[in-house]
């Protein structure tokens, strides 16, 4: 995944499989759509036969984290998903 400043420590998909949450050594939690490529990247970098297109970043959560993120979880909600 392009976007974390350092190693990715944890990856989890939402229960419906539509989104992916990652936590990193950079103390951020990121929400991704793994089924869409990032239109900000030039097409030459977007994908090749050996590498699928990178996931599209949706949101970055940074406030209040003082240590590397080593675990992420999700909950199901009738109105919206929640990042914990």
Tokens 């984290």 found at: 65
pTM for the model stands at: 0.68
Residues 6+ positions from 9 with CB-CB distance below 8 Å: 23, 24, 25, 68, 69, 70, 71
What pLDDT was estimated at residue 22? Answer: 92
Q: What is the pLDDT of residue 58?
A: 86
What are the distances in angstroms from CA 14 to CA 35, 43, 48, 77, 82?
13, 28, 27, 11, 10
pLDDT tens for the chain, 84 residues: list them: 678 888 999 999 988 888 999 999 999 999 998 887 666 666 555 455 566 667 788 888 888 888 888 888 877 765 454 554
């Amino acid at each position: 995944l392009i976007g974390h400043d350092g190693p990715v420590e944890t990856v989890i998909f939402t229960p419906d499989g539509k989104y992916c949450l990652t936590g990193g050594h950079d103390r951020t939690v990121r929400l991704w759509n793994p089924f869409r490529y990032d239109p900000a990247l030039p097409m030459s970098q977007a994908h090749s036969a050996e590498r699928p297109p990178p996931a599209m970043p949706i949101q970055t959560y940074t406030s209040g984290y003082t240590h590397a993120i080593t675990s992420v979880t999700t909950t199901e909600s009738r109105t919206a998903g929640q990042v914990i």
